[in-house]
Amino acid sequence: MADRIFLSPPHMGGDEAVLVQEAFASNYIAPVGPMLTAFEEGFAAYVGIPHCVALASCTAATHLVLRELGVGPGDEVIGSSLTFIGSISPVTFVGARVVLIDCDRSSWNMDLDLLAEELERAARRGKLPKAVIPTDLYGQCIDMDRILEICAPYEIPVISDAAEALGACYKGRHAGQGAYASVYSFNGNKIITTSGGGMLASEDAELVRRARYLSTQARQPAPHYEHTEIGYNYRLSNICAAIGRGQLRVLDERVTRKREIFEIYRERLGNLPGIQFMPESPSTRANRWLTVILVDPAAFGANREDLRLALEAENIESRPVWKPMHLQPVFHGARAIGGAVSQELFERGLCLPSGTALTTVDLDRICTIIRSQCPSVVA
Ligand SMILES: *Cc1c(COP(=O)(O)O)cnc(C)c1O
């Protein structure tokens, strides 16, 4: 059988191994070192947010921001229902409760009308959420101007979950810009990877300084390590940062290729009955981290699970759209605002293989299998 085609595997640019070798030669194998500093500086310059700290994961980054905001038991934090759990699990790490908001059909991101209504109600109840964490789903930026406009009167900080959106733009600004804090992921399947890692970026120098301190066990500057509070072991290693530096160099190329792959799928599958593609909002340039289709089983003649299994039978990985958080057993009982739209996207949505190293032959194979599942094309 042909080699497995993965959903979005790592794709090295070539400089990574050289940079890792350089890190080895310097013997900065220990957590911090010059690669880490250079990675943070390069990243800050790329996203246009002045202060950055590289961490073990994006989930850790969000945890540190919530901790610094003083979020705790009895507090509420609003998140997107249609997201990956790492976006909101940190809310539970600090003992607070998540409130889950549905997405809208035009962007698949948090429905900002629902958010505005919820904040009005919260203000009337006299209990505002401590933060709002919108996800830039599948690499499409949230309408940042609008969400800031909604949250500003209540002075609620926005934490931009740009884990999937590095390289995407909103009105010419990089994903995450404008939020109080922004978090990014370098997990293995993201648009660039350090084999695992994350970044916290903010305009607030003090937030990033505190996050850096908390991420290395909150050590006071004393030779014996004095501790006045509890920290975490959340720092990215100098070796992983070397991979990140190499990956940053090819990030723009990766975005171009991801968008090309999306266009190839659209050309080949867009004319099939019952197939729709994830929309792109006019004010954004998505990075198309994953190409996502919606399957209308009545029109297409097969459902998204039929497609997924047909691909799997040919050793090709695809995946349903994220199962919404309000449907996850672990969040049973969490307050949910709406939810029908994300549920429908989950039931009908399929993420297609979107690795930037996919060849034309691979794409042909995938599209042929999908077309073969549509009875009206076959006939
Ligand atoms: C991948 C992802 C995360 C978590 O990133 P890690 O680096 O694995 O912690 C958070 N939010 C979203 C939307 C993600 O896709």
List, for residues 45-67, the tens digit of each pLDDT value.
999 999 999 999 999 999 999 99
Residue 129 CB–ligand 1 contact under 6 Å: no
Q: What is the dihedral of CA 284, 290, 291, 292, to 10 degrees?
A: -90
pLDDT of 23 strictly over 70:
yes
Q: What is the arithmetic mean of pLDDT over 200-212?
A: 98
Rounded-to-integer distance, Cα 131 and Cα 118, Å: 13
Predicted TM-score of the model (pTM):
0.97
Cβ distance 258 to 165 under 8 Å?
no
Residue 53 CB–ligand 1 contact under 6 Å: no
List, for residues 330-367, the tens digit of each pLDDT value.
999 999 999 999 999 999 999 999 999 999 999 999 99
Check if 323 is active-site: no
CATH number at residue 92: 3.40.640.10
pLDDT of 261 strictly over 80:
yes
200 DSSP β-pair partners:
53, 183
Q: Which atom of ligand 1 is nearest to the CA of 186?
A: 7
Does the residue 9 lie in any domain?
no
Q: Which domain holds residue 22?
A: 16-250
Angle at 187 between CA 261 and CA 178, to 5 degrees: 80
Q: What is the pLDDT of residue 28?
A: 80
| Domains in the chain, number | 2
Cα 139 to ligand 1 centroid, rounded to whole Å = 12
Cross-sheet strand order for the sheet of 131-133: 131-133, 76-80, 97-101, 335-337
3-class state of residue 347 by DSSP: helix
Picking from 201, 216, 250, the residue at the C-terminal end of a domain is: 250
Q: Which atom of ligand 1 is nearest to the CA of 59?
A: 9
Rounded-to-integer distance, Cα 189 and Cα 186, Å: 8
CATH number at residue 315: 3.90.1150.10
Residue 118 CB–ligand 1 contact under 6 Å: no
Q: What is the pLDDT of residue 379?
A: 61
Cα 308 to ligand 1 centroid, rounded to whole Å = 23
Give the residue whose CA is nearest to atom 3 of ligand 1.
86
List, for residues 226-254, the tens digit of each pLDDT value.
999 999 999 999 999 999 999 999 999 99
3-class state of residue 236 by DSSP: coil
Question: Does 169 share its domain with 224?
Answer: yes
Backbone angles phi, psi at 169, to 5 degrees: -130, 155
Backbone angles phi, psi at 309, to 5 degrees: -70, -35
What are the C-alpha distances in Å from 136 to residues 55, 142, 166, 277, 362?
20, 5, 9, 17, 28
pLDDT of 31 strictly over 90:
no
Cα 91 to ligand 1 centroid, rounded to whole Å = 14
Percent of the chain topping pLDDT 90: 96
Cβ count within 10 A of residue 229: 9
pLDDT of 267 strictly over 80:
yes
Question: Does 227 share its domain with 343?
Answer: no
Question: Does 154 share its domain with 288?
Answer: no
Question: Does 25 share its domain with 135?
Answer: yes
Picking from 228, 250, 272, the residue at the C-terminal end of a domain is: 250
Q: What is the pLDDT of residue 377?
A: 82
Residue 81 CB–ligand 1 contact under 6 Å: no
Q: What is the pLDDT of residue 244?
A: 98
Options 130, 171, 190, 323, the catalytic residue = 190
Rounded-to-integer distance, Cα 297 and Cα 303, Å: 5
Cα 90 to ligand 1 centroid, rounded to whole Å = 11
Residue 287 CB–ligand 1 contact under 6 Å: no
pLDDT of 1 strictly over 80:
no
Residue 163 CB–ligand 1 contact under 6 Å: yes
Provide the mean pLDDT of the chain: 96
Q: pLDDT tier at 30 (50, 70, 90 boundaries)?
A: confident
Cα 86 to ligand 1 centroid, rounded to whole Å = 5
Q: What is the pLDDT of residue 29?
A: 78
Question: Does 256 share its domain with 153?
Answer: no
Cβ distance 115 to 147 under 8 Å?
yes
pLDDT of 378 strictly over 70:
no
Q: pLDDT tier at 40 (50, 70, 90 boundaries)?
A: very high
Q: Which atom of ligand 1 is nearest to the CA of 57?
A: 7
